[in-house]
Amino acid sequence: MDQGEIHFIRLDSGPQPGIIVSSEAYNRGEYVLAVLCTSVKFAVRSKLASCVAFHAGEFGFTKNCVAQCERVTLLHKEDIDAQLVGIVDPGCMRDVIRAIGVVLDSDCEPN
């Protein structure tokens, strides 16, 4: 699994798409960090600085949704579907990293 990939993540509430945000070196282990994506309350969340909006058809998403960068989650690789949904482009990945920075009150930039 690589940074920027979108996979379905198995949660207690059911499967949900997530974007892998951890670095390549970290992803070689048993765990990865992912930002969870949701289509619930898209109109409101798409305007928040801690969220990044995606539209249906982009990067494999089937609905309008947002990456909720306040929902960075540590996941065991067993809880992530191996099938790739899509891959966000470098510009969108930069937006996701910056939105994580908003949550942390830090100027985050990807390497």
pLDDT tens-digit map of 32-90: 999 999 988 999 999 999 999 999 999 999 999 999 999 999 999 999 999 999 999 99
In a domain, 25, yes or no: yes
CATH number at residue 89: 2.30.30.110
Tally of domains within the chain: 1
State pTM to two decimals: 0.91
Please name which of 4, 3, 2, 15 lies closest in space to residue 79, comparing C-alpha atoms.
15
Residue 22, pLDDT score: 95
- Residue 55, domain member (yes or no): yes
Give residue 57's domain range: 5-104
pLDDT of residue 109 exceeding 90, the answer is no
Residue 109 lies in a domain: no
| 60 assigned to some structural domain | yes
* Residue 111 pLDDT grade (very low, low, confident, very high; cuts 50, 70, 90): low
